[in-house]
Amino acid sequence: MRLCRVVNLGVVPYQTAWDLQRSLVIERKANPNSPDLDDVLILLEHPPIYTLGQGSTTSFLKFNSAQTEHDLVWIERGGEVTYHCPGQLVGYPILNLTYYQKDLHWYLRQLEEVLIQVLAVYGLEGTRIAGMTGVWVSDRKVAAIGIKVSRWITMHGFALNVCPDLSGFDQIIPCGIADKAVGSMAQFIPDIQIDRVREQVAIAFAAVFQVRLT
């Protein structure tokens, strides 16, 4: 059973977390067979920021990207524009898929399964929609997923809306999906606490990926 180190960072600027991810990926790509490099699951929240995946289009922004007060950054993950803010639990797994399955579709479905299991702890039924990536409760998308994999080392990951201010999503067409609403766990469980959800995410991650947490 592989070891996975859980790193809880609280609220972290996007650039700080991005730099951390890239340093971990570079280290693992340089030493792909090193037994000393455990997998890592980074759990955190971000201050308000919009991110766009590689190849995404600004047509899904409802503001002028060249003249905006919003923090906006293009990154190397897949997918279209999304929004991060406090109250949204973000997970960045740094895994070597050589030790799991060299299959990106498998990996995406595994991340979805982690979130579905977390929602089930709270009595919420998380569902998938064919042809789309993410997790929905009823007709609301509560979790988005966008990844980057290079030499089978993963970065970026998932964002679970626990109790965020959802108004920031009004400025975009989230993930380029115009006909699906964004939701949060707090809409169904008003007193939900993100610290508790963070613990459940780690537990579910260990179960789905069959790793031992450190």
Burial of 206 (0-12, 13-18, 19+ CB in 10 A): middle
Contact indicator for 53, 80 with CB cutoff of 8 Å: yes
Could you tell me the strand order of the sheet in which 82-84 lies?
72-74, 49-52, 82-84
Active site residue 4: no
- pLDDT, block means (10 residues), the chain with 214 residues: 95 98 96 86 97 88 80 92 97 96 98 98 97 94 97 97 96 84 96 97 98 95
What does pTM read for this prediction?
0.96
State residue 148's pLDDT score: 97
Alpha carbon of 95 to those of 57, 98, 159: distances in Å? 28, 9, 17
Length of the chain: 214
State residue 50's pLDDT score: 95
List the chain domain ranges. 2-213
What CATH number should be reported for the domain whose range is 2-213?
A: 3.30.930.10
The catalytic residue among 4, 85, 163, 175 is 175
State residue 179's pLDDT score: 79
